[in-house]
Amino acid sequence: MRTLAAILTLACLLPMSGQAAEYKQLVADKSSIHFGYKQMGVAMNGRFTRFSAELAVDPAQPAKARARIEIDLASIDTGSAEADQEVAGKLWFNTRTYPRASFVAHSIKPVGANRYEVAGTLSIKGRSAEIVAPASFSSQGALGAFDGSFSFKRSDFAIGEGPWAAFDAVANDIQVKFHLVTQAGK
Amino acid sequence: MTLHYTTTAKLLHWLMAVLLIGLLALGFYMHDLPLSPLKLKLYAWHKWAGVTAFLLCVLRLGWRFTHRPPALPAGMARALQMAAHAGHALLYALMLAIPLSGWLMSSAKGFQTVVFGVLPLPDLLGPNPALADTLQTLHFGLNLLLVAVIVAHLGAALKHHFVDRDDILRRMLPRLQKEPRS
């Protein structure tokens, strides 16, 4: 029985053994952070163009991984200059007081081959909430890409106050999709 | 005796008159509003009403092609008859072109049109700010032309009624009880 358990454990670890590298450096121009929401029933999307990450992720040893992502909220691109200006303002992100949003992972659990469940703290506009994001890993040469998504409620972070606090024009649910390309480092 | 338009033609005419004037007023009003939930709602309603107007226009053209409208008065000058037909053709062209330009502009601006919030229209164009600006100018210009043609249409109807004293205006109005059915 003990042998079987050992074999099973080994079998689980084997697929990851080829990727025993620690990914530390974000390749910003190959990475993206997109978001989606509904406006008057219409699916809309946008992205952030400036973000940084402090990483130390070895896909073979997720328990030891560390990840902290910071987004420069003023870099939002909603596809409309008028909207970009609006959401930087006090009622939305209030970027003058809260220029950055952050996500700090505190647990990365493997849930399958190259698939993980990343739990962490999302902080926006001085408010924090715990989120869980499913993510997958794929490697290509020295580069490793982490892909995942999660959703949150904008009301939990007071994103859209005053006349925007109702969800009749802009829905409460926000979807975030990230594609973080990283480089293995020593 | 007045030769009336069919009840369906009258209904479509007046329904669209109300809808188009509402759409024009809303379009000119909402354009300069600062971004707000109300502005987003007005834009959505404007688009939904625009799609409705387009569909009504298609229906109306179908009716018009299968139901000959009453002829213009025989005494009307040939040039004026031609002008009347050209004016009506232009109105129909604008009633089709304006919602189409609005739909394309929406797509180019990156806002899909979802009729009544449930029926998504396909985006024939991808987001393209330069093209969106051109289409916005086109949508605006076509609407200015529409206002001019509507004013001419109204002026012509009133001239027929009060100057020429013919039945052109009356035949688009509800039938009066005293009039015999034609």
d(CA A127, CA A130): 11
Q: What is the mean pLDDT of residues A72-101?
A: 95
Do residues A72 and A100 make contact, with C-beta atoms less than 8 angstroms apart? yes
Cβ within 8 Å, pair A80-B40: no
Looking at residue B6, the DSSP 8-state letter turns out to be: P
Which residues span the domain enclosing B52? 7-172
**Closest residue on chain A to B44 (Cα):** A40
Phi, psi at residue B91, to the nearest 5°?
Answer: -60, -45
Do residues A115 and A139 make contact, with C-beta atoms less than 8 angstroms apart? no
A164 touches chain B (CB under 8 A): yes
In sequence order, what DSSP letters do the residues of B97-118 get, joined into one string? HHHHHHHHHHHHHT---EETTT
Confidence of residue B72 (pLDDT cuts 50, 70, 90): very high
A90 touches chain B (CB under 8 A): no
Residue B18 placed within a domain: yes
Model ipTM?
Answer: 0.79
* Residue B120, domain CATH: 1.20.950
Supply the pLDDT for residue A136: 96
d(CA B100, CA A121): 46
Residue B1 placed within a domain: no
Do residues A146 and A182 make contact, with C-beta atoms less than 8 angstroms apart? yes
Structure tokens at B45: 């309603």
Give chain A's mean pLDDT.
90
The CB density around residue B2, as the number of other CB atoms within 10 Å, is 16
Instruction: Please tell me the distance in Å from B136's CA to the nearest CA on chain A.
Output: 14
Q: Tally the domains of chain B.
A: 1
Statement: residue B79 has pLDDT above 60: yes
In tens, the pLDDT along B115-174 reads 998 999 999 999 999 999 999 999 999 999 999 999 999 999 999 999 999 999 999 999
Phi, psi at residue A98, to the nearest 5°?
Answer: -125, 80
d(CA B68, CA B3): 12
Cβ within 8 Å, pair A41-B109: no
Among partner residues A42, A80, A168, which is closest to B112 by beta-carbon distance? A42
Provide the CA A70 distance to its chain's centre, in angstroms. Answer: 9
What number of residues does chain B have?
182
Among partner residues B36, B41, B109, which is closest to A40 by beta-carbon distance? B41
Which of B113, B114, B131 best probes binding to A when mutated, by most A CB atoms within 10 angstroms?
B114
In tens, the pLDDT along A171-180 reads 999 999 999 9
Structure tokens at A164: 């925007």
In sequence order, what DSSP letters do the residues of B57-95 get, joined into one string? HHHHHHHHHHSPPPPPPTTS-HHHHHHHHHHHHHHHHHH
A170 touches chain B (CB under 8 A): yes
Does B3 or A71 have the greater pLDDT score? A71
Supply the pLDDT for residue A1: 53
In tens, the pLDDT along A48-70 reads 999 999 999 998 888 889 999 99
CATH architecture type of domain A19-184: Beta Barrel (2.40)
Cβ within 8 Å, pair B37-A39: no
Residue B36 placed within a domain: yes
Provide the percentage of residues in chain A whose pLDDT is more than 90: 75
Q: Which of A51, A47, A32 is nearest to A101 (CA)?
A: A51
**Ranges of each domain in chain A:** 19-184
Reduce the DSSP state of residue A28 to 3 states and report it: helix
Statement: residue A5 has pLDDT above 80: no
Confidence of residue A21 (pLDDT cuts 50, 70, 90): confident
Which of A37, A42, A90 best probes binding to B when mutated, by most B CB atoms within 10 angstroms?
A42
Give chain B's mean pLDDT.
93
Confidence of residue A140 (pLDDT cuts 50, 70, 90): confident
Structure tokens at B30: 């909402």
Supply the pLDDT for residue A173: 98
User: Number of H helices and number of E strands within chain A?
Assistant: 2, 11
The CB density around residue A154, as the number of other CB atoms within 10 Å, is 20
Residue B159 placed within a domain: yes
Supply the pLDDT for residue B175: 85
In sequence order, what DSSP letters do the residues of B121-164 get, joined into one string? PP-SS---HHHHHHHHHHHHHHHHHHHHHHHHHHHHHHHHHHTS
Q: Which of B47, B42, B38 is nearest to B115 (CA)?
A: B47
Confidence of residue A15 (pLDDT cuts 50, 70, 90): very low
Q: What is the mean pLDDT of residues B20-25?
A: 98
- Give the type of residue at B139: H
Provide the percentage of residues in chain B whose pLDDT is more than 70: 96
Supply the pLDDT for residue B182: 47
Residues of A in contact with B114 (CB under 8 A): 40-42
Statement: residue A165 has pLDDT above 60: yes
A79 touches chain B (CB under 8 A): yes
